[in-house]
Amino acid sequence: MVATIVPFGSEAYFITLLSLDKYNGLLLLTAASIGNILGSLFNWICGYYINYFIKKPWFPINNKMIDRGNKIFNKYGKWSLLFSWLPFIGDPITFVAGTLRYPVAPFLVLVSIGKIGRYLIIYLSIMWTFNFF
């Protein structure tokens, strides 16, 4: 949910580590993807148990964000989970999937496609840039 407030942080860190050329790029890709997928799973869990969390003062998702996620999820259905990587709307979509009790297995498949796809595009772009220049 921090990504909603400060987007693109993980991408900048991922690009920086790749550009240092000290680490295995595929391992960085795997770690970044798994971390982001687990973050979305956490959002889903929070949504699933919304009645417990919504009244907590530290809980960072408000009703406006939930409404935004509901509109997107209701309009595009499960396919909206492919856009869980997008800043500002990705976290509310994954949260709403939990509130709607969307099954976790297909949730993880769709979210993984989006998250891994994002980092794969970044990874390939950086590798192409290094090889080109």
Name the residue among 36, 18, 11 with its Cα closest to residue 114.
36
Rounded to whole angstroms, how far apart are CA atoms 116 and 22?
22
33 with 116: CB under 8 angstroms? yes
pLDDT at res. 68? 79
Work out the pLDDT band at 12, boundaries 50, 70, 90: confident
Mean pLDDT, the chain, rounded, equals: 86
Question: What is the per-residue pLDDT across 44-71, written as a single tens digit (0 to 9) for each?
Answer: 998 898 877 777 888 777 777 777 777 8
122 with 15: CB under 8 angstroms? yes
List Cβ neighbours of 42 (8 Å cut-off, separation of 6 or more). Answer: none
pTM over 0.85: no
